[in-house]
Amino acid sequence: QSFRLLGFLDVRSVPCARESVLYGSLGSLVVGLGYFLATSRVRRSCDFAVGGFVCTTLGYWFYCRYNLAQQRIRQRMLREGMRNKILFEGSSLDPERKQTGNERSDS
């Protein structure tokens, strides 16, 4: 089963969607309740709660997606580095291999 938010956002399969919605609901609760305790205006505090939900959800969405993109870039670089290590290990192109005078004169 999949849970779709607003009919189009599949919360289970889209990365960062679940956490964004959870943090957004917590943000709306904090902002709405805080505004209500400060002013005792119910309708206005509900408006602030909706705004807090939208702002918190979008803020965490962009933060999480940025970190996910950085993590994928680091994984790709690590994967390529490991592949190059396997390819060049033991050859003359291996940067970790220390060449002595005999090896340099042979080539």
| Count: domains in the chain | 1
Shortest CA distance to 55 belongs to which of 28, 83, 32, 35?
28
Mean pLDDT, range 96-105, rounded to an integer: 59
Decide if 37 is inside a domain: yes
Decide if 35 is inside a domain: yes
Determine how many CB atoms are found less than 10 A away from the CB of residue 76. Answer: 10
Decide if 67 is inside a domain: yes
Decide if 1 is inside a domain: no
Decide if 5 is inside a domain: no
Residue type (1 letter), 61: W
pLDDT at 21: 87
Domain holding 37, by residue range, is 15-87
Band (pLDDT 50/70/90 cuts) for residue 90 is confident
Decide if 100 is inside a domain: no
pLDDT at 83: 85
Decide if 69 is inside a domain: yes
What is the rounded CA–CA span in Å between residue 77 and residue 85?
12
